[in-house]
């Protein structure tokens, strides 16, 4: 911060974050990290280091603050989504704090499973393994292996209905597919 006013705003923001977290978890401990506001790559990497160094339950508060720090923090949180136990966001519209599901944007989708993921995504409400096998004209064992690989990477979710396994794309899977598509 360049001025006393900036220092006051920073203290106020820190106090607000601590108060919100204590409302959710009274025994929460917080650590304040100083992040450069004028060097985006360094700020992202510093936020990444803070997340990686965190001990215990990691709660990410995605509720705003100075954009110069918020954006690097949000990028680091998304890069480390599997390490974040809880992501919270305060709504400016209705004043509610909500937990947010973070997509695992760093998921590695093997080329061999990409077609299977696309076929899964084509079925809006999910698809059974037998149906998926019919749509892809691949062996059931291949489709089952692909689904297991995709589930391990967090890009699909699976569930059982009786003896039949079903699958649908996760939030991360849908987002990754959209990012790989050519714009219309």
Contact 143, 91 (CB under 8 A): no
Instruction: Tell me the whole-structure pTM to 2 decimals.
Output: 0.74
Contacts of 184 (CB under 8 A, 6+ apart): none
122 with 48, same domain?
no
91 with 60, same domain?
yes
80 with 33, same domain?
yes
Determine the structural domain holding residue 25 and report its residue range: 4-100
Is 105 part of a structural domain of the chain? no
- 168 confidence band (pLDDT: 50, 70, 90): very high
**Tens digit of pLDDT for each residue in 19-53?**
877 777 788 777 788 888 889 999 999 999 999 99
Is 106 part of a structural domain of the chain? no
**Tens digit of pLDDT for each residue in 122-155?**
987 899 999 999 988 899 999 999 999 999 999 9
24 with 58, same domain?
yes
The last residue of a domain, from among 100, 135, 155? 100
Is 36 part of a structural domain of the chain? yes
83 with 125, same domain?
no
Per-residue pLDDT at 93 exceeds 70:
yes
Domains: count for the chain: 2
Tokens at residue 181, please?
């598509």
60 with 133, same domain?
no
Q: Which residues of 35-67 are buried (b: 16+ CB within 10 A; e: fewer)?
A: beeeeeeebbbbbbebbeebeeebbbbbbebee
121 with 34, same domain?
no
Percent of the chain residues past pLDDT 70, beyond the cut: 95
Is 147 part of a structural domain of the chain? yes
**Tens digit of pLDDT for each residue in 146-158?**
999 999 999 999 9
């Amino acid at each position: 911060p360049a001025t006393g006013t900036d220092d006051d705003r920073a203290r106020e923001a820190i106090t607000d974050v601590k108060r919100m977290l204590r409302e959710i978890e009274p025994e929460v401990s917080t650590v304040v990290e100083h992040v450069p506001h004028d060097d985006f790559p360094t700020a992202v990497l510093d936020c990444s280091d803070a997340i990686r160094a965190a001990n215990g339950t990691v709660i990410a508060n995605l509720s705003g603050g100075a954009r110069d720090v918020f954006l690097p923090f949000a990028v680091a949180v998304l890069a480390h989504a599997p390490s974040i136990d809880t992501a919270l966001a305060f709504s400016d519209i209705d004043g509610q704090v909500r937990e947010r599901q973070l997509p695992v944007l760093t998921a590695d989708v093997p080329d061999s499973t990409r077609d299977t993921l696309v076929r899964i995504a084509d079925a809006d409400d999910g698809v059974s393994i037998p149906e998926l096998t019919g749509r892809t004209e691949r062996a059931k064992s291949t489709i089952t292996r692909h689904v297991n690989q995709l589930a391990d990477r967090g890009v699909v979710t699976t569930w059982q209905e009786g003896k039949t396994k079903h699958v649908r794309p996760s939030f991360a899977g849908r987002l990754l597919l959209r990012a790989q598509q050519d714009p219309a």
